[in-house]
Structure 1
């Protein structure tokens, strides 16, 4: 057993991780904690340590390094909150050996001890090699588990067994019971739900024979008080019904392996730091690679298949003849949003005589009343003003220089810079740490009790952490001011703005391409627009600018310093019911 530090008990932390909901239910993270407590008792003695903090990443894969509590652990290691961290096994830290090395190197640089329950941390080159081999085995084990699951699903699909966790609307899922060797073994399968099956038949008849549109079907379902399985408002969605009416399961044919999971090229939520699942998008595979699986038919026989075919024809016809598919010249389409959070879509009353950007809340709420009461924005006026101001910005060196200065000033505010020098902050941090050290010496000499030590050092630790954050902010602000990749005010004269003259003679399609590339989002109501986007200035970072229309419409343009990669994504709704 290691002896406690001469100045007091050892300040330690626990870190635990589980990757699946099943592990969470089985309390395996709590089991890890119990083992770590026993390890701490054996190493330091029951009274020789204090657990400062416990870090628990529940439901996070070891293949992902960006985890909330792991990031917090790495940050706290730099502030000196604790002296050692206890972890059950290296694969709880990460499944990839390279990720393990990154974290362990950071903790070593911060002079923090790392102890594992199942094995000791490496102390020399030979142990480091063995530790690396262990990490590679953890990575191999993860790949082996994933491959085992894939092959198991593939085998079940080839044996014509359904593979799903949620039954399509119209069916009930009977889950697997027992083992294949048991006399009463039951494999996972679908059975028809009589109540929902009646609704499915009605839907196909309404569209295939009654030639109703999807929105008319929704309205009729609402009038009959027929609710979907999952919806907070009890209203059917157009996408849900469209997917449902194209599902071949209802004529006795389901499929496995129709699509594969991919990392989204254009995620809906761009600034989300922590993602438990990276591959949240789907890519369709050629139909020849799909594995057919027979299912009970709700639309039975040849008559049912004929009805299914009529529905597919009617859906295609509805799409081709829909008035909403008429394309008008909306320059700001796909970028315009309402203050309520919904997108604004183009709408042209009287066959396009008047064009507006209207809030789509009324569409999402249908058939219920819209909750957003904001009026439409005249698209011709909005398109004209946004484009003219964008051209003005890109062609004015005076505006660019003014906004560079403004942007750099705002970056200091965003970084949290206070104007206090980094050296002064570091000097104060050193003084506080010396004071904290004196309290520990007093505790080690028996002058104060543990409760008094905790009470005296707690505010010091908070103050030290706050000063270290301020110092980091000051350093970040200093880097922004001296970053050579950012355009400086004195370099504006070197810009070539003659090319901006060509923007006045562009076609609508050319303007549209530029708008999609430059503008990120436009949020507004009649009379005011707030525009966020990026204006490329040569090869340097974008700048930021505010301007107001001379008329009654106000526009705010924010041009952020970040790179963009915009490519179309392929998505497919999975398990809509």
Structure 2
């Protein structure tokens, strides 16, 4: 029978090389398939380890093919490789196999979900797999908590440190080529310099952060607030809410207040003294406004406006009581009052709506790329068929074809041309309808944004703008008038 195989690393194999594990599984399943006269036609490699079904792209692709009835069976190393996540996800997977009549084949057993006994056994096994998964997670959390309390927890080595193992315990050692810049940042801050000035200074000396090209205001501030540099281990700085856990449409990360952090003494050496660290925190407390990130949107332009120079998202900051739109990269482009940018965007939408309404009245609208390319391809093929027809007459005149052969081939070409002509007319008619529909749809969305924008809060305004705009590119030169900035707009495709 024809079958697919699904390869996925289990929790018990964490830490092992993914490619090596999957290659071993593939070899085992190939041997099993050969021994049982099973022909494997497709392989699905799952290299991500998301718990949710929707975080596993290969499983989603497999389920689509299973529902289409492409395979007689699917081979897996064990039933829990398909899912040991939420019961809802397990039900979706088993329903797909049950409704399509596709077998689940493992080296241990073949499950035919149309059979009541196999169906009950599969449900029981996935239930027990889920229970085992929860137990393993609890053990891992307990072990992680103990590791933190022992002061030897290491996730990623921060700037100024390298990972090492001492007495079989993972910890950190000072990496002096980077640590000297950390001490410099603390010393400069105590002397009264701000984070932007410090970032520019250490960048000029050749300091390079781990994950970006240069230090910024935010990365310097993060180093100044991080207790790791004073010899501490920190946990519970953030709370993560999974997508859909509380009805939220996406994953949410919330920055916890400092009093909720877990801070213990680490076994790694400190780069700065506790006294220096405490002095810096006292200054930060007077200057720094803590993040209020709690999963809500407070800026109508969040994620909408990007810097045309560096591509980073522009941020809303308040200076002297006035909100501004600012690029976080030092020296990149000049800032502008938030209300000016927001007003310019609304003006653009008003102009775009007026233009769309004029196009609709004139019977034209926005081009539809797919239909345009289809029409171009049909026209190209039609021109080739016309050339082929002319060539047939030339070959007849040269005596290459006899009359009966010429008539036969000419009839075939004429039939082809007639079919292409019909397709061209149908595509042109569909394209015209699509242009009008797209124009009307986009106009309706923009009209809805403009009508409701004034009464909406920041989160509502942000959602509405993202519904009609892909991006707004911002550019402004230094030492120019407040309104002397340029915006470039990318509308959503409809």
TM-score over 0.5 (shorter chain): yes
CA–CA distance in structure 2, aligned partners of residues 279 and 501 of structure 1 = 30
CA–CA distance in structure 1, aligned partners of residues 462 and 225 of structure 2 = 32
Show structure 2 runs of 5+ residues with no match. Answer: 290-298, 376-429, 477-485
User: SS at 2:111's partner residue?
Assistant: coil
* Matching residue of 1:141: 132
Higher relative contact order (Cα pairs below 8 Å, separated by 6+ residues)? 1
Output aligned runs, 1:169-188, within 5 Å. 169-175=159-165, 185-188=167-170
Residue 57 in structure 1 maps to residue 46 in structure 2: yes
Q: Does the CA-based 8 Å contact 1:95-1:138 persist in structure 2?
A: yes
Residue 168 in structure 1 maps to residue 149 in structure 2: no
Output aligned runs, 1:381-530, within 5 Å. 383-384=342-343, 386-387=345-346, 515-520=461-466, 521=469, 522-524=471-473
CA–CA distance in structure 1, aligned partners of residues 474 and 180 of structure 2 = 45
Q: Does the CA-based 8 Å contact 1:249-1:295 persist in structure 2?
A: no
Q: Does the CA-based 8 Å contact 1:201-1:298 persist in structure 2?
A: no
CA–CA distance in structure 1, aligned partners of residues 334 and 275 of structure 2 = 45
CA–CA distance in structure 1, aligned partners of residues 337 and 157 of structure 2 = 45
Gap change, CA 1:193 and 1:555, over 3 Å in 2: closer
Moved more, 248-257 or 52-61: 248-257
Q: Does the CA-based 8 Å contact 1:18-1:24 persist in structure 2?
A: no
Gap change, CA 1:56 and 1:514, over 3 Å in 2: closer
Q: After TM superposition, give the deviation of residue 315 of structure 1 in Å.
A: 3.5
Q: After TM superposition, give the deviation of residue 38 of structure 1 in Å.
A: 2.4
Gap change, CA 1:297 and 1:23, over 3 Å in 2: closer
Aligned alpha-carbon RMSD (Å): 5.3
Q: Does the CA-based 8 Å contact 1:357-1:377 persist in structure 2?
A: yes
Q: After TM superposition, give the deviation of residue 125 of structure 1 in Å.
A: 1.9
Moved more, 340-349 or 58-67: 340-349
User: SS at 2:34's partner residue?
Assistant: helix
Decide which of 117, 130, 140 is 1:126's aligned counterpart. Answer: 117
Q: After TM superposition, give the deviation of residue 172 of structure 1 in Å.
A: 3.4
- CA deviation string 1:475-526 (max 9, x = no partner): xx9xxx9xxxx9xx9xx9xxxx99x8998xx6xx978676434212442467
Decide which of 232, 237, 240 is 1:253's aligned counterpart. Answer: 232
User: SS at 2:270's partner residue?
Assistant: coil
Q: After TM superposition, give the deviation of residue 254 of structure 1 in Å.
A: 2.5
Q: Does the CA-based 8 Å contact 1:299-1:305 persist in structure 2?
A: no
User: SS at 1:71's partner residue?
Assistant: helix
* Matching residue of 2:9: 18
Decide which of 337, 342, 351 is 2:306's aligned counterpart. Answer: 337
CA–CA distance in structure 1, aligned partners of residues 258 and 338 of structure 2 = 40
* Matching residue of 1:32: 25
Q: Does the CA-based 8 Å contact 2:233-2:265 persist in structure 1?
A: yes
Q: After TM superposition, give the deviation of residue 286 of structure 1 in Å.
A: 6.4
Q: After TM superposition, give the deviation of residue 332 of structure 1 in Å.
A: 5.4
Q: After TM superposition, give the deviation of residue 136 of structure 1 in Å.
A: 0.7
* Matching residue of 1:74: 63
Q: Does the CA-based 8 Å contact 1:62-1:92 persist in structure 2?
A: no
- CA deviation string 1:219-273 (max 9, x = no partner): 2212322333x1453x22332221111122333333334444333699xxx9xxx
Q: Does the CA-based 8 Å contact 2:73-2:105 persist in structure 1?
A: yes
- CA deviation string 1:18-52 (max 9, x = no partner): 156624347222222222222212221xxxx4321
* Matching residue of 1:99: 89
Q: Does the CA-based 8 Å contact 1:204-1:245 persist in structure 2?
A: yes
CA–CA distance in structure 2, aligned partners of residues 22 and 219 of structure 1 = 39
Residue 243 in structure 1 maps to residue 222 in structure 2: yes
Decide which of 117, 141, 153 is 1:150's aligned counterpart. Answer: 141
CA–CA distance in structure 1, aligned partners of residues 370 and 49 of structure 2 = 35
Q: After TM superposition, give the deviation of residue 106 of structure 1 in Å.
A: 2.0
User: SS at 1:216's partner residue?
Assistant: helix
Gap change, CA 1:294 and 1:67, over 3 Å in 2: closer
Q: After TM superposition, give the deviation of residue 319 of structure 1 in Å.
A: 4.9
Show structure 1 runs of 5+ residues with no match. Answer: 1-9, 177-184, 271-277, 321-329, 418-476, 528-552, 562-577
CA–CA distance in structure 1, aligned partners of residues 23 and 452 of structure 2 = 66
Q: TM-score, normalised by structure 2?
A: 0.64
